Homo-oligomer: A and B are copies of this chain.
């Protein structure tokens, strides 16, 4: 039998790393008294980088389920960090923008993301970081191809 050993499984360690990184990010956000989640931060970050993304576009960019993205956007909207502008040409869609509060928030979020990244990669050579990043992109592409 092909028995998996979790202790030497890259898949498993990616999963654990992801959980731990998210916990650190949560902690840092909490330390900064920011009422936002790591997942919401990803969406806000994409919205801040371009004007007028739709929920569908954000869902694709952030690799999140369409339905869940829709709900997260609702929360960001209710919290007042984004504004939705209905598209006159297509009544199904809205385009998303950062509000003033969202713009203020995103500045602080970049700082939090910076802190959590530094904690995670502390003591890891730049060269190694490049190798790992490249390998993770390969993993993402492998899994993406399988799921297509």
Q: Which residues of A contact B (CB under 8 A)?
A: 1-4, 6, 8-25, 27, 42, 45-46, 63, 107, 110-111, 113-114, 116-117, 119-124, 128-129, 131-133, 135-140, 142-144, 146-147
- List, in ascending order, chain B residues with CB within 8 A of A10's CB: 117, 120-121, 129, 132-133, 136
Q: Looking at chain A's contact residues, is the secondary structure mostly helix, strand, loop, or mixed?
A: helix
Q: Decide if A17 touches B14 in the complex (CB within 8 Å).
A: yes
Closest CB pairs A-B (n = 4): A18-B18, A20-B143, A2-B114, A13-B136
Distance from A24 Cβ to chain B, minimum over Cβ atoms (Å): 5
- List, in ascending order, chain B residues with CB within 8 A of A140's CB: 13, 16-17, 20
Q: Which residue of B lies closest to A134 (CB)?
A: B128
Q: Decide if A42 touches B12 in the complex (CB within 8 Å).
A: yes
Distance from A129 Cβ to chain B, minimum over Cβ atoms (Å): 6
Q: Which residue of B lies closest to A28 (CB)?
A: B146
Q: Decide if A131 touches B128 in the complex (CB within 8 Å).
A: yes
Q: Decide if B147 touches A13 in the complex (CB within 8 Å).
A: no
